[in-house]
Structure 1
C-alpha cells in the first residue's frame, strides 16, 4: 500500500511568478557573470555583450512606453541593461573572476535592487493616484448631475406647489429608471401631502413619459419628504414571472410584483388578509396565479382555493399532478392543498378551517405558553392556511341565500382565526362602495391591490387606498398594472409578472417537495372532510374535461309530467326558516284576507276537480320571492302609521333582506295608489304614502 506524502517544510517556489526587486537583481547579476565567464573561456568578442545589452535597453524602453510607465521607471530599466552589458564587456576583457570584478558586480546588483524597489513603489503610487483621480472625476460629474436635478426640482416644487424646499440628497436608482429626492420642508407646519396631492401636476410639469410619476411620501421625520421620480416606464413592458423558484416563508415576504423602480414588492401575510380588485380584462386572473405561485414556493403555507366559477383559478395548479386513475402522477403533489368549485365544497372547506382554528386555540396552549406568545408559531410543522377566494368580495355582498351562508363563514374566519394562522385573500371585480362597504374587509385586508387596466368605471381608488393622494387610474392603463399598498409600503404604482400555463406546470413540479403537511392536531380537527379532499369521487370533475363541476348538494327535481321544469314549481324543496319580516308580512296578509275579499295566491287553493288545467305557461309560481318583498314593503307602509313614509325609506328597510331597489318600490306604490291601497300625500321631495287603513279625509287632502 502506498501513500502520497507532501513535504510540509522548506521553501515553496513558484516558477510562474514574475521577478521582484531582489530576484530580478539576482537574476541579472548572475546572468552577467555566467556570460562573462563563458565568453572569456571561449574567446567570444566582448562587443557582442555590449550589443546585446543595447538591444535589451531599446526593447524595454519601447514596451515601457507602450505600458505608459513613468520616465523614472523607463530610465531605470534601460540603465540596468546598459550597466550590466558594460560590466560583462569589461569582465570578459580583464577576467570575470577577480575580486574587483566580483565586488563591482555585487555593487551593481544591490543598486539594481534598490532602484527597482523605488520605481515599483512609485509606479504603485502613480497607479493609485490615477484611479483616485478617475473616481473624483466621476464623483464630480455625478455630483454636478445631482445638483442640476436638485435645482430643477426645487424650482418646480416652488412653481407647482407654492412651497420652498431644500434638497438634502438625490439618490439615483441602481436600475436606472429614476431617482429619489430627499428634501426638507419649510418651517411653519408644512406637511408632505402638500406635495403628494400635486403629483399629477408635477409629473406634467416635468414632462415625464406616460406611466411615470412623481410621488411624495413621508421622510425620515415629519419635516422631510421623499419624492420618487420615475423616468422610464417599466409598466408598459410585459415581464415573465421570475424563474427563481427558491423556497420562501410567510415571515420573509412573498413577492407579488415590482414597483416603477423595478424593485420587487413583497407582502407579509402572517397577520394580514389581502384584497385584490380588478375588473374584467385587467389581469386579475393572472394576478391570482402569481399569488398562488408565491404560496406554492413557501415552506410554511397550505393554500386552499375557493372559486365558484368552475374552479378555474385553481385547476391549473391541480391538473398537472392528477392522473386518470384518481391518483397523483409520480407522487407529484398539487400546487394547492384543496380546491372548491361548488357551494357545498366551499362550505365544507370553510367549516373545516373554522374547526381547525378553534381546535388549535385549545390544543396549542402549552406551545403558546412555552414560546410566551399569543400567536401560533407558524413553521413547516405547523403551517399557515391561506384561503384564496376568487371574487370573494362579491360573495360577501350577495343576496342569494346559499351564498350569504358562505359569506358568514368567510367573515367568521377573517374575524376569529388570525392568531391561529388562517388568513384570506379575496378578489373583487370593482372598487365600489357596494363591494368594499364591509368594515371587516377594510380593517383586516391591509395588503391591497387594485388592477386598473385603464378601466375607469367602478374604480374608486380612494376606497381601496384611503388617505393616499395623487393616485389616478390613467397612470396604469396597461394590463397587469395598477396600484398596491401594504402596511410596509404605501399605495403606489406596481405591475404583476406574467405567468403562463407552462410556467405554472414548472412551478408545480419544482415546488412539489416544498409543500408542508397539515399538522396532526389540525388534521384531527379537519376530519374526513379534509382527509378525502382528493378522493376520486370528489375530484372526478377535475379530470373529466367534458363536464363542469356539479354541486353535491341534493337538488330538487321537477314536477311529474311534461312541461317546463321551473325551480319555483318544485314541491320537494327543503323548508326554510321564516324570518321576522316574513312572519310580519304573513300576519299582515292574514289580516288583509280577514278584512277584505282578496284573491288567494296561486297554489294556495286546490283547483276544482272538474276544472281542466289552464293551457299555456303558468309562471305564477315565480312570483313567490317578489311577493315576499312586496308584502314586506306593504307591511312597512302599514307600520308607518298615519304619518306615512316614502319610497326611499321602504327600499332601505328591504335592502338587506330582499335587495329591493327604490325603482321597484316606486312601481309598487304607484300600483297601490291606483287601486286605492295607498294614498299619496304631497309632491316633489315631500311626497309620502299613507296606507288607506290610516288615511282620513283631513290627512289625505293636499
Structure 2
C-alpha cells in the first residue's frame, strides 16, 4: 500500500483497494491531520489547494487510461478538490472548531455515498460489456446458423420438393457437422420423404466421401432432424480407447463411434445383438471390441462359441494360462468360457439352459422383494452374454449336429431373457437365408452391419427394415458400416482397431473387475462349468502340432476347397489335378462313365470318375452338380443349366439345384455373382477375389 507524506496535502490513495467506507474515512482523517499540522506550523493554505488540484489532474489521467466512466472520473476529481478546499479553509480558520469538524464529517459521508454509487455503476458497466461481447459472438454464430438454415431450406426444396421451416441449427462440439431441427409442412408430410433422398442431398451439398445427410424423426411426427456430417471420420483408423474403467450392463457398452465422433453404446440387459460382416470387413476385430467391452463390465460373464478353432476367444484366454495350462496367479481370462468344438458347445449351451431354468425358481423371493419380473443383475448375480461367432450360419445350417446346436441357441434366446442370459450372434452376410429366422429378427434389436465396401450379400434393408437412405458405398472402409439400436436409429459408424498386445493389456487391467458366477447358477452348471479351465480340457489351446478338429464342412485332402471324394484319396496324382482331369472327362463323355450304385460290379478304371463311395442317387446327383460347377470355370453357371444337365440321368429339378447352390454359397464352396436373371455361381477355386455384379 502506498502512502503519502503529510506535506503533500490530502491523502487520496485509490490504488490501495479501499472500499467506499474505508476510502472516505481515510480521506477525511488525512485532511484533518494535514489541516491541523499546517495550522500549527504556519503552512501557507494555498499549498494544500495546489496539491489537491494536482491530485485531481493525476487521477483524471489514470482513470482515462483505465477507460472508466465519466461519472467515476468526476467523482474522483471532485473528491480531491473538495478535500483540498476544506483543508485550505480549515488551516486559515482553525480545524478544531465544531464548524470545521462537522463540515468534514459531511464531506466524508458524501464521498462514501458517491464512491459506492460509482462502484456499482462500474460493475454494471463491466457486466454490460461482457454481455455485449457475448451478444456479438451469438450474432456471428447466429449469422452462420441462419446461412446454414437458408442453404438447406433451398436444398430440400430443390431435391425433395418439400418446404421446411427450420427451427434450430446445432453445431456439433466435435466440429464434424451439424444437426438441423425443422418443422415439416402441413398436409401429412413425413420425415422419410427426406430420408429417402439422403444420397441426393449429400451429393447436392458436395459433402466429402463418407459424409452423409441423414434424416430421422424429430420430437414429434411433424418435426424432422437432419444430421449433416462435414468431416469424414470413418476414413481414419482409431485404436481402442486406453480407458479401461469399469462399465455396467445398465450404463451401456461402447461398440464404436458415429460420424460426429461420439461413442455409440449398446444396452443388452434385455436385448440380443446381431453382427453381420463378410470376410475382410473387420468382423473379427468387431468381435474383439465386443469382448473388450464385456471384459470391462463388473456384472457380465462372457461365454464364447467359435467352431473355427476358437480363434475369436483364444487371445482373451492365453494371457491367463501358462505353458502347462495352469492359471496364472492374479490373472483371470478376459472371457469366462470358450468352446471351440461341437461337444464343448453342447456342454456350454446345456449349462446356460440349466442356469437360466434354475434362476427362474431360486430367485423368486429376490424378484418379489425388488418388485420386478426380471432378475436384478449385479456383480453378485452377473448376466451371461453368449457370443457365438458365425452363429447365424449355425441357425440356418442343414447339418444334423448344427441343427441340434441351433435348437439350443434358440431356446436360450427365447426362454432366458428375464434371467439375464443374452446372445451376440455374428453372420457372414446380410441375406434372407441368414436373417430369415423370426427369433433373430425379433430379439436381436441391436444390429451391426459391417460392409467394408462389399456389395454382394449386403442387403441393408434386411438388417435394418424401415430405414431409408442407407447405402453400402457410404462405408467403404474396413471396420465401417451401419449400426442401429432401439436407442439410436441405424446410421453410419466405425469401430476401433484393437490389436493382440492391447487385448493382453485389457485382460491384465480388467482381471479384478470380472464377477464370479453366483452360487445358485454355479451349482446348476455343475462340474462341466467348474472344470472348464482344467489343463485336460484346454490342451487344444497349446497343441501346435496340428489343427484342432472343427465342425466346419469337410474339405478335399490336399486342397483348401473343392469336392470331397473319398474314392480319390488313393490316387498318386494330386487331388486338384485328379479332380480337374476327371471332371473334364466326365463332361466329354456326357456322364457315360458313371454307374448307379449297386449296378456296377466292375472295378472303376483310373481314368473314370469314381463315385463308388456315394451312398445313394441323390448324393450322386449332388456331387455331379458340384462337378459341373467346378468345370464351368471362372465364367460360372446357373441353376437352370445344371438342372437341364441332370434331368435326363437323375430327374433332378431346378428347385433342388437351387437349394444345393444356396447351401454351397452359405458354406463358402460357391460364390454368387450378379443378381436377378444375370445371377450365376462360380466355384470358389475359380472365383475372383472381389466378385462384382454384372
> Shorter-chain TM-score: which interval?
0.7 to 0.9
CA deviations 1:259-306 (Å, max 9, x no partner) are: 222232221111211111122332222222221122122221111112
Give the distance between the partners of 1:24 and 1:279, measured in 2 at CA: 81
Q: CA 1:622–1:527 in 2, change beyond 3 Å: closer, same or farther?
A: farther
Where in structure 2 are the equivalents of 1:40-55 lying within 5 Å? Answer: 53-54=52-53
Match runs of 1:660-679 below 5 Å: none
Judge which range, 478-487 or 90-99, deviates more.
90-99
Cα offset, 1:423, TM superposition: 0.9
Question: How far did residue 158 of structure 1 move?
Answer: 1.7
Q: Is the 8 A contact 2:309 2:549 kept in 1?
A: no
Measure, in 1, the Cα distance between the counterparts of 2:65 and 2:338: 72
Deviations, residues 60-97 of structure 1 (Å, cap 9, x unaligned): 33432233211111221233234334444554565544
| Residue aligning to 2:619 | 629
3-state DSSP of counterpart to 1:600:
coil
- Verify the 8 A CA contact 1:651 1:660 in the aligned structure 2: no
Work out whether 1:244 is the aligned partner of 2:250.
no
Instruction: Give the Cα separation in 1 of the matches to 2:452 and 2:477.
Output: 5
Measure the CA separation in 2 of the matches of 1:127 and 1:488.
46
CA pair 50-330 structure 1, distance change in 2 beyond 3 A: farther
- Please say if residues 160 and 198 of structure 1, whose CA atoms lie closer than 8 Å, have aligned partners that are also in contact: yes
Residue 199 in structure 1 maps to residue 198 in structure 2: yes
**Structure 2: distance between partners of 1:330 and 1:320:** 11
> What are the Cα deviations for residues 120-168 of structure 1, in whole angstroms up to 9, with x where unaligned?
1211222232233333333333333333322222222221112223223
CA distance 1:307–1:66, shift in 2 (3 Å):
farther
Measure the CA separation in 2 of the matches of 1:290 and 1:94: 93
- The SS at the match of 1:624 is coil
TM-score, normalised via structure 2 length: 0.76
Q: What are the residue-to-residue correspondences of 1:384-399 with 2, within 5 Å?
A: 384-399=383-398
Query: Equivalent residue for 1:647?
Result: 653
Q: Could you tell me whether the CA contact under 8 Å between 1:185 and 1:223 is conserved in 2?
A: yes
Residues of 1 paired with 2:610 and 2:70: CA distance? 111
1:174-218: CA deviations, max 9, x gaps?
Answer: 333222222232333322221111111111111122211111122
The answer as to 2:162 corresponding to 1:178 is: no
SS at the partner of 2:512? coil
3-state DSSP of counterpart to 2:62: helix
Q: Structure 2 matches for 1:499-518, cutoff 5 A?
A: 499-518=498-517
Unaligned runs of at least 5 residues, structure 2: 1-14, 552-563, 568-594, 625-642, 644-649, 671-694
Going from structure 1 to structure 2, the CA distance change for 1:480 and 1:97 (only over 3 Å counts) comes to farther
Tell me the residue number matched to 1:585: none
- Is the 1:568–1:622 Cα contact (8 Å) retained in structure 2? no
* Counterpart-to-counterpart distance in 2, 1:481 and 1:365: 43
Give how far 1:486 is off: 0.9
Structure 2 CA distance for partners of 1:146 and 1:614, relative to 1, 3 Å: closer
Question: 1:54 deviation in Å?
Answer: 4.8
- Match in the other structure for 2:580: none
Cα distance change of structure 1 residues 657 and 220 upon mapping to structure 2, 3 Å threshold: closer
Q: Could you tell me which residue of structure 1 aligns to residue 210 of structure 2?
A: 211
- In structure 2, relative to structure 1, the CA distance for the partners of 1:90 and 1:225 (3 Å cut) is same
**Aligned in 2, Cα 1:145/1:247: closer, same or farther, shift over 3 Å?**
same
Query: Within 1, Cα distance between the matches of 2:35 and 2:145?
Result: 66
2:147 maps to what in 1? 148
Are 2:280 and 2:478, in contact at CA under 8 Å, matched by a contact in 1? yes
- 1:211 and 1:235 in contact (8 A); partners too: yes
**Closer, same or farther: CA 107–246 of 1 in aligned 2, 3 Å:** same
For 2:400 and 2:99, the matched residues in 1 are separated by 118
Distance in structure 1 (CA, Å) of the matches to 2:110 and 2:466: 79
Q: Which residue of 1 aligns with 2:283?
A: 284
Question: In structure 1, what is the equivalent of residue 352 of structure 2?
Answer: 353
More off after superposition, 242-251 vs 284-293: 242-251
- Work out whether residues 245 and 511 of structure 1, in 8 Å CA contact, stay in contact via their aligned partners in 2: yes
Indicate yes or no: 2:472 matched with 1:485: no
Query: Quick one: structure 1 residues 105 and 429, their matched pair in 2 at CA, closer, same or farther if it must change by over 3 Å?
Result: same
SS in 2 for 1:64: helix
Can you list the C-alpha shifts for 1:511-563, whole angstroms capped at 9, x where unaligned? 22222211111101111111111222223444x3845673599xxxxxxxxxx
Contact 1:306 1:341 (C-alpha < 8 Å) held by counterparts: yes
Whole-angstrom CA distance in 1 between matches of 2:376 and 2:78: 77
Q: Is the 8 A contact 2:181 2:226 kept in 1?
A: yes
CA–CA separation in structure 2 for the residues paired with 1:18 and 1:617: 111
Aligned-partner Cα distance in 2 for 1:138–1:335: 50
Task: Name the structure 2 match of 1:71.
Answer: 70
SS of 1:258's equivalent? strand
Q: 1:438 to 1:515 in 2, by over 3 A?
A: same
What corresponds to 1:221 in structure 2? Answer: 220
Superposed CA deviations along residues 225-254 of structure 1, whole A, max 9, x for unmatched, are 222222222222333333333322222222
Q: Given the superposition, is the C-alpha separation of residues 626 and 443 from structure 1 closer, same or farther in structure 2, using an over 3 Å criterion?
A: farther
Indicate conservation of the 8 Å contact 1:453/1:477, yes or no. Answer: yes
Change (3 A) 1:95 1:308: farther
In 1, the alpha carbon distance for the partners of 2:535 and 2:666 equals 43
Q: What's the secondary structure of 1:538's corresponding residue? A: coil
Pairs within 5 Å for 1:391-540: 391-540=390-539
Name the SS for the 1:252 alignment partner.
coil
Cα distance between partner residues in 2 of 1:529 and 1:618 = 51
How many residues of Structure 1 are paired with residues of Structure 2 in the alignment? 594
Distance 1:60 1:328, change over 3 A: farther
**Counterparts of 1:66-215 in structure 2 under 5 Å?**
66-91=65-90, 95-215=94-214
Contact preservation (8 Å) 2:621, 2:652: no
Q: Work out whether residues 629 and 654 of structure 1, in 8 Å CA contact, stay in contact via their aligned partners in 2.
A: no
Find the counterpart in structure 1 of residue 629 from structure 2.
none
CA separation of 1:42 and 1:497: change in aligned 2, threshold 3 A: farther
Aligned equivalents of 1:598, 1:210: Cα separation in 2: 59
**In 1, distance between residues paired with 2:114 and 2:544?**
90
**2: distance between equivalents of 1:625 and 1:40?**
136
Q: 1:98 to 1:433 in 2, by over 3 A?
A: same
Between the aligned partners of 2:372 and 2:457, the Cα distance in structure 1 is 42
**Corresponding position of 1:20:** 19
Q: Secondary structure at the match of 2:250?
A: coil
TM-score normalised by L of structure 1: 0.76
2: distance between equivalents of 1:549 and 1:653? 31
**Closer, same or farther in 2 for the Cα pair 1:512/1:650, shift >3 Å?**
closer
CA distance in 1, matches of 2:175, 2:418: 42
1:600 is matched with: 598
Match of 1:320 in 2: 319
Alignment RMSD (CA, Å):
3.8
Contact 1:447–1:487 at 8 Å: present in 2 too? Answer: yes
- Extract unaligned runs of 5+ from structure 1: 1-15, 554-565, 570-596, 608-612, 638-643, 665-702
Superposed counterparts of 1:297-316, under 5 Å: 297-316=296-315
Deviations 1:627-646 (A, max 9, x none): 56248999xx9xxxxxx976
Deviation (angstroms), 1:224: 2.4
- Using the TM superposition, name which of 173-182 and 263-272 deviates more: 173-182
* Kept in 2: contact 1:633–1:650 (CA 8 A): no
State whether residues 384 and 422 of structure 2, in contact with CA within 8 Å, keep that contact through their aligned partners in structure 1.
Answer: yes
